[in-house]
Structure 1
Amino acid sequence: MLPDRITVYRGPTLRMCDTREDVVAETEVTVVHEIAHHFGIDDARLHALGYG
């Protein structure tokens, strides 16, 4: 079962991204990262998969 909610904070995301494409990519990384943690995947493995 997936977590009920993953919150991506708009302000910090927009401040760190320069383009719409950057926002989309950062949001994807954040969501994948949080779902991976839900399933017990640690930061080292995420980094190895390109989601560091």
Structure 2
Amino acid sequence: MVEASNYQMAIDLLCCHLGISEEEAKQQLGITSEHASQAHVAEMQQAMLGLTNEK
């Protein structure tokens, strides 16, 4: 995963010009934190389990 600090200027520009939060700017750039990535994986696993349990 790429460090967000490498994209800090882009993050700052998005925050300033679009009036969005730093987290929203990171999402726009495709940068997510480790915690957010793990949460997404957990959600996907739950969804996949739900598909296999349906009959």
TM-score range, shorter-chain basis? 0.3 to 0.5
TM-score by length of 2: 0.41
Greater Cα radius of gyration, structure 1 or 2: 2
Bigger helix fraction:
2
What is the TM-score normalised by the length of structure 1? 0.43
